Structure 1
Amino acid sequence: MAKDFFHQAVRTALEKDGWTITHDPYPLRLMGIGGEIDLGAERILAAEKDTASGSVQKIAVEVKSFLSPSFMYDFHVAIGQYTNYRVWLERKEADRTLYLAVPAGVYETHFQVQGIEFVCQSVNVQIVVFNETEHLIESWKS
C-alpha cells in the first residue's frame, strides 16, 4: 500500500511528541478483508496514586495528505477509510484509539467549516493536527 505524502512527517512528529512507533504500517485483517493503517504507536503515561504506576496509551494513525484538487473527494475517502479502520480496530485491539492525521493548513481551512465539523462529530473522528514543515504535532481533537 502506498504511503501518504506526509507519512514521514507524521511519524517524526509523533516521535518528537514522545510516541514509540510500534507498527509502520499497522496491518488489519478481519473476516476476510484487510487493510493497513499508516502507523501504530504507544507511549507510557505516568499516573499517580499512593505509588507511581505506568499505563500504556496506544494509538493508530491514518495519515491523509489532502493534496488532490478536490478537498471533498479526499474528505470522503478519508472518512470512509477512517470508519472502516475504526470498526476493524475495535474488534482487533479495542484499547488502541484511531486518529486521522490532518495537515495544519488543511485543518484550518477546511475542518473548521460547520458542515465538515458536523460530519466529523457525527462519525466520532479523532484528529491529530500536524505541522507538515516543522514535523510537529499541533493538537489532538476529539
Structure 2
Amino acid sequence: MSAKDIYHEHVKHALIKDGWTITHDPFKIEYGPKVLYADLGAEQVFAAEKHERKIVVEVKSFIGASVVTDLEQALGQYILYVDVLSDIEPERIVYLAIREEIFATLFTEPLGQILLRKHRVNLLVFDPEEKEIRQWIP
C-alpha cells in the first residue's frame, strides 16, 4: 500500500462537508492475485430517490518536478481503477481529485482540455485551504 497523498485528509474533509460518508480509507481493490489501493471510497444516499451514489477517489497533488509526468502517472492509475472496477463494482464512479490551482493551469491548456473534451477522466476539483469541493467534472 502506498503512502497517502499530502492532500488526502483535505479531500476527505471536503467530501464529508459535501454530504458524503467515507466508507473506505483506503479503498481496497482485489482483482485476481493483485491488490490495488485507491485513496477513498464514499457513498451519498439520496433519501427522496431511495438510492445511493458510490464513488472511488484517487487524490493527486501534482507537486513533482514535471506536471506532465504527474499527469501520466495519475491517468495510468485512474484508468486501471476504472477498468478493474467496471468488472467488479460497476456502480462505482472513479474521480481524480486535484487542487483548483492544477485545474486552472493544466486543465485549461490543450493537454488537459483534450482529456476533458474526450471524457477521459472524471475530476473532483477541491480547495485545499477551505477543504471544500469546488467542481465535479464528469
Give the TM-score normalised by structure 1: 0.91
Q: Which residue of 1 aligns with 2:36?
A: 35
Aligned counterpart, 2:14: 13
CA distance in 2 between counterparts of 1:108 and 1:59 reads: 24
Identity of aligned residues (%): 39
> Is the Cα contact below 8 Å between 1:61 and 1:98 reproduced in 2?
yes
Q: Deviations over 1:82-131 (max 9, x none)?
A: 00011111111100100000101111011111222213443621000000
Q: 1:37 and 1:102 mapped to 2: Cα distance? A: 14
Unaligned runs of 5+ in 1: 48-52
121-130 or 100-109: which moved more? 121-130
Count of residue pairs brought into register by the alignment:
137
Which one has the largest radius of gyration? 1
Map 1:100-111 to 2 at 5 A: 100-111=96-107
**What SS does structure 2 have at the residue aligned with 1:76?**
helix
Contact 1:83-1:123 at 8 Å conserved across structures: no
On the 8 A contact 1:61/1:99 being kept in 2, the answer is yes
Structure-2 separation of matches of 1:121 and 1:34: 31
The aligned counterpart of 2:24 is 23
2 CA distance for matches of 1:138 and 1:40?
A: 19
1:56 to 33, 52, 56: 52
User: Which segments of 5 or more consecutive residues in structure 2 lack a partner in the other structure?
Assistant: none
C-alpha distance in 1 between matches for 2:127 and 2:36: 26
RMSD across aligned positions (CA): 1.2
Matched, 1:81 2:82: no
Equivalent position of 2:133 in the other structure? 137
